[in-house]
A and B are shown apart, each in its own frame.
Chain A
Amino acid sequence: MIDMKLLAGVQMFDALGPNQRHAMASVLKICQLSPRDTLFKQGDRAHSCYWILEGNVDVQAGGEDRKHLARLRKGELLGEIAMLDGGRRSATCVGGSRGAVLAQLDAADFDTLFESGSQFANRLMEIVGAQLAARFRRAVTQLTEAVMSVE
């Protein structure tokens, strides 16, 4: 059970009623990340998603060069596709310059919430779906470019 005050300012939690927020706080875990500490690497099996409660997280392409892709900030959600399918991480995430405090939700706990009809789990499933649709549309654009390049 994490301190519910830590969740204040994260839109998805602010939108919940007291009962739902309590149910969430009971399954979330706090995860501290020092600057440049690795949260997960591209290719790792994905079991959890995270909300940034403090600090920031850098998203990098895997491989030798570790190209910087994005900086995620307080309130943002990351790694959420893991709630749907325990596939592999598509990027590497490390603590930003000030490190980060994260709330971690494991896929197994998400499943329990989802099966119990939790409104929060429903909303998270919607977000995961929309994220996936955006990725799929980008992939189709890339596929078109790839086909054009070989013809």
Chain B
Amino acid sequence: MSTAEFFRSLPLFEGFTDSQLEAVASCCRSMHTPAGGTIFEAGQRSTGAYIVVKGQVEVTLPLPGGHPREIATLGAGEIFGEISLLSPGKRAMGVHATQDTDLLHLEQLGFDALKAQQDPAAYRLIRTVGLTACERLRSTNHMIEQLWGGETAPVGLEPQATPISAWSRLRRLFGGA
């Protein structure tokens, strides 16, 4: 399957025309990260976004003086590092592969070139990535409120009747497994 065909199968790229999918695909480079490998660390300069083709990655929040906290697990078809396409900067979180993982690296340079050409694909991508970022921002804000409020999630959202930890709730809100 070509990269554009793979994109066609993802909800993320709903509404893109074939030529827009081709344009986005032209900015992507295939890569492989073995289980345990690092894709990027928090604090590194961003170089674009990643889409999981196969495998699984873990997103972690760095804690000063402590171990990073796992906040989401993402699998095939999901995007991460997308904030950098909206505004390049330093990575807020780290991402590591928890399985042998195939990825597409949507490179910042290629994306910037699309924007410079006023290619509609670039702006449609900003829109779709922006919607993902909106959802993740809302989840993060919700989690902050819960942590400050000391609330626990309502029981009944999970099969077990045990209290749900704030972290498992955040992970679910982030769309992780």
Residues on A lying within 8 angstroms of B by beta carbon are 81, 84-85, 87, 114, 117, 119, 121-122, 125-126, 128-130, 132-137, 139-144, 146-151
Contacts and interface: CB of A to CB of B under 8 A. Distances in A.
Nearest to A111: B127
A132 B148 contact: no
Interface residues of B, number: 36
Contacts of A81: 134
A139 B86 contact: no
B129 A117 contact: no
Nearest to B137: A136
B126 A147 contact: no
Contact of A132 (B66, B118, B137): B137
Interface string B66-82: 10010000000000000
Interface string B101-129: 00000000000000100101011001101
A130 B127 contact: no
B137 A129 contact: no
Contacts of B127: 84, 114, 125
A134 B87 contact: yes
A114 B123 contact: yes
B140 to A, nearest CB: 4
Interface stretch (B29-37, B57-65, B155-163): B57-65
B134 A150 contact: no
Interface string B135-172: 01110110110011010000000000000000000000
A125 B130 contact: yes
20 contacts: A84-B130, A85-B131, A85-B134, A114-B123, A122-B123, A125-B126, A129-B87, A132-B86, A132-B134, A132-B137, A133-B84, A133-B87, A137-B89, A139-B141, A140-B93, A140-B140, A143-B143, A146-B143, A147-B147, A148-B63
Contacts of A147: 61, 63, 69, 147
A118 to B, nearest CB: 10
Interface of B: 61-64, 66, 69, 83-87, 89, 92-93, 115, 118, 120, 122-123, 126-127, 129-131, 133-134, 136-138, 140-141, 143-144, 147-148, 150
A126 B133 CA distance: 13
A143 B61 contact: yes
Contacts of A130: 86-87
A129 B144 contact: no
A129 B125 CA distance: 10
A55 B123 CA distance: 32
Given A81-B134, A140-B140, A133 B123 contact: no
Contacts of B140: 136, 139-140, 143
The residue among A134, A139, A148 with the most chain B CB atoms within 10 A of its own CB is A139
B130 A150 contact: no
Given A84-B130, A122-B123, A136-B133, 6 more contacts: A114-B127, A122-B120, A125-B126, A128-B126, A130-B87, A134-B87
